[in-house]
Structure 1
């Protein structure tokens, strides 16, 4: 197996509505939100974990093709596809132990906050507290609950790397599949409570660079692939 090239996708993720990717509640005091967002432990700024973006990209891409796996993972009955003939498995990898194990070809890095100065006047540091109310259908009694969200307008870095090897079955399609997965997330939601208004995001890709194997050996240059980006991701 030999690396052919790396494709590096850069840009930003903008929260169009409040974004709620959960973290630990251990630091919250009495009267704080019932659920909190994940934060950088050093800067205390919220961020988007690469695992959250990658997992959502994979699940939506598999749903779009109808490629749902049957492997049970904890409480999840219908997990990721592990069929080596599926395009999504070739991009995101497989944990099979019967000879078809495949490392992921895509790297989704954590997205850190780009515009912290725009979030200075929020309810909580860089975030907002959103209150929802559960209504008893018979007695009309209300039970309020509070959630922490990153407010609309927050922007995070987007950095994705696709590794393409000579033995890859879908080597000419992996970049297109990654774009398709981002389009699906953009028309769905990221994080929690998406059906209740949270998690709408907009991806803006500003740079796509192809670096062949020779680039890393000092024998070749890199190429600009921005012309391959779909219009709704620009």
Structure 2
């Protein structure tokens, strides 16, 4: 039977190099406000980066880099091959089911909140863009809410290593996915400059069975 050998806690800081937009729910009518809002903690109203956004982006980038994106009836989807880097790290579905080895936490904002005193929205900025119809030349202005460049978030992940796993391959794949993410973007509208990030203070802390046996 497969057994858990250790957990590796991965910690780092995400710093925004450009404004970040990860969409949330437009829960209220704000006349004159942004058309697209960012996701926020409903209790504190502070923006955060969902773990699902981080995990999904890292997986897709690793699959693109490997060339292992699965195609089924003309539709693209996650790889179903457990021998690929993405499959081994992020898990698979289908005939070869394997649970994800990586847990990605929501990343909370750790910047001093006083840094946002000059933003036009609470902890965020509004950015207006204009789409131009190429046929009629009619303009269509729209406003996006973004977490501004310079904001910092605490990122935490847990890597589960089982006795059947290649630990070195899992760690290497995770580091590769993080490097790819730095040279890509997080959230929406990356081709227009949004979502460039840097990853700092990356650390790995191993916790084996003896760690969890202690009272």
* Normalised TM-score (structure 2): 0.94
Higher strand share: 2
Call closer, same or farther: CA 1:173–1:118 in 2, change over 3 Å. same
CA drift of 1:80 comes to: 0.6
Q: Does residue 148 in structure 1 map to residue 145 in structure 2?
A: yes
| Structure 1 unmatched runs, 5+ | 220-234
8 Å CA contact 2:13–2:152 kept in 1: the answer is yes
8 Å CA contact 1:11–1:205 kept in 2: the answer is yes
| Structure 2 unmatched runs, 5+ | none
Q: Does residue 101 in structure 1 map to residue 97 in structure 2?
A: yes
Q: Give the Cα–Cα distance (whole angstroms) in 1 for the partners of residues 155 and 72 of structure 2.
A: 30
Q: Give the Cα–Cα distance (whole angstroms) in 1 for the partners of residues 187 and 32 of structure 2.
A: 23
- What is the aligned partner in structure 1 of residue 88 from structure 2? 90
Call closer, same or farther: CA 1:195–1:209 in 2, change over 3 Å. same
1:155-192 Cα shifts (integer Å, max 9, x gaps)? 10110110000012x33211111111010010000000
| Root-mean-square deviation (Å) | 1.6
Q: Give the Cα–Cα distance (whole angstroms) in 1 for the partners of residues 210 and 85 of structure 2.
A: 27
**Among 131, 148, 153, which residue is 1:134 paired with?**
131
Count of residues in Structure 1 that have an aligned counterpart in Structure 2? 213
- What is the aligned partner in structure 2 of residue 13 from structure 1? 14
8 Å CA contact 2:89–2:102 kept in 1: the answer is yes
8 Å CA contact 1:119–1:154 kept in 2: the answer is no
CA drift of 1:11 comes to: 1.6
